[in-house]
Every structure is written in structure tokens, then in C-alpha cells.
Amino acid sequence: MKILDFIEKTELTQKNEGEKAKLLCYFHYRETDETSFSMSLVSDLFIQCGFNAPNSSRLKSKLTNGKEKAFVNSKGKATTIEFIPAILQSIEKNYGLLWQDNITIESSGEIIDEQKFIGKRKYIDQLIRQINHSYAHNCYDAAAVLMRRLFEVLLVLSYQNLGIDNEIKDASGNGYLMLEGIVNNAKNNQTLKLSRIKKEFDTFRMVGNFSAHNITYTAGKKDIDDIKLNYRVMLEELYSKAGLMT
């Protein structure tokens, strides 16, 4: 876990000095498995997080005595402290799940500008974050397939928003056509009225298709880079058609 995420999720900036020290020592313990903490280390943890360095002797006294007692002195080490087991268990109960997060996706707009396109629908937000995360970690086939999926989702939402999604329904009338059929309809649909970016629609589709279905093909960074500018233009247009820009 990154220290900035820990600070945010524990609301560390709002804690008093003693609580800050306990949680910073806990963070250090979870990241390193070290169970004892010198006061110089505690002071360094404060500074690394942008907090003022504490008065070490006063803080040590506070942490090992009185109401805020959470540590005991390490045997034979006058300037080193260790968690009281019950206190460590309590902190673990409250914050241990932060190290088991299976929901958060770390991403920073590597392909898609998150400040512009996130915040409209949760499932779209998840797709965008997964695309950016995949690209940032060199998983270009994953990025290509997810980009294809997002493209398909936005096309369907555009048809739905304009009240013409019956035009892309399959023979059963319950589901939608495959993406190729939707694209073929979209390129000439007079209600949808797409700009010249529609000429790139088959490229977006095929890049994802190759990564999903071609046995010997593996996407590279250039494959994604070659389409990302036009892909953003497409996002702008389909977000508008789908009513997601308001």
C-alpha cells in the first residue's frame, strides 16, 4: 500500500500526535514486518508524511504511559518501543482490511482522461480505470479488449439515449447485435449522425478482436498508441450522444 493512500483512508491528518504515531508504526509494521520501533524511526515516519517532527522524548512518554499508552519499552533498548499486543490486534481489526483491497484500481489517466470521463456511470468508471491500469502495466492485450468493450458499451448507450436501440437488436429482439453489426449500422445511421470519426470504428473493433481472438497475436504499446488519439475523439462524441456529458 502507498503511504498517501494510507494517510487518506485512515484520515491521518486529523489524528492527534499519539494516534499518528500508532498508525504510522502500524503501517511500517505491515510493510516491513518489523515489530519494534526506534524513536528516530518514528520521527522519520512523521517527516516522510509531511508532518512536523515530534519531540521524541515527550512522544515516547505519551505512547508508553497514561491514557494513550499503546507501546512498551523494548527489553534492553532504551529508545525502542513495541506494540502492546492487544493494541496491535485492535488496530489490525480496524485497518487490516486496507491490505486486502480487491476493489480499488490504481490508474492515472494513461490512455483516457479520468478527470473528464469518470463520474458518469460506475461500471464505465471501472472499465476506464482498468484500461488505464492495463496500459500502465504493459498489459496491452487486456487494454485493447477493454477498449473494444467500452466502445461497444458507449455505442449501445448512444442508441438507447436516442430511442433507436431497436435498430441494433438481434433477431430475438431481446439482445443486441455483435459489435460488427452495430458498427455497420452506426456508420450510416441518420439519427445518430456521427462525425468523420466513424471511419475509425472498424479499427477500434479490430484491435480488440485481434487481442481477444487471434491465437498468435499479442498487442504491443504501439498498437494502443496508434489509436489512442482517435479513441479519445470517439469517447467525446459518444459520451455526448449517450447523454453522459451533462
Give the residue carrying C-alpha cell 471511419.
199
Contact 81, 60 (CB under 8 A): yes
Contact 7, 13 (CB under 8 A): yes
Element spanning 138, H or E:
none
> How far apart, in whole angstroms, are the C-alpha atoms of residue 159 and residue 242?
7
pLDDT tops 80 at residue 180: yes
| Residue pLDDT, tens place only, 19-34 | 999 999 999 999 999 9
pLDDT tops 80 at residue 246: no
How many distinct helices (H) and strands (E) make up the chain?
11, 3
If you average pLDDT over residues 45-63, what whole number do you get?
A: 94
**Other Cβ atoms closer than 10 A to 231:** 21
Identify the structural domains of the chain with CATH numbers, from first to last.
Answer: 3-100 (1.10.10), 114-241 (1.20.120)
If you average pLDDT over residues 226-246, what whole number do you get?
A: 94
**Predicted local confidence at residue 79, as pLDDT:** 84
pLDDT tops 90 at residue 103: no
Contact 124, 152 (CB under 8 A): no
Q: Where are the beta strands (DSSP E) in 20-127?
A: 36-38, 71-73, 80-83
**Predicted local confidence at residue 236, as pLDDT:** 96
The secondary structure of residue 97, as a DSSP letter, is G
> How far apart, in whole angstroms, are the C-alpha atoms of residue 112 and residue 122?
15
Task: Point out which residues pair with 72 in neighbouring strands.
Answer: 82
The mean of the pLDDT values for the chain is 93
pLDDT tops 70 at residue 104: no
> How far apart, in whole angstroms, are the C-alpha atoms of residue 113 and residue 115?
6
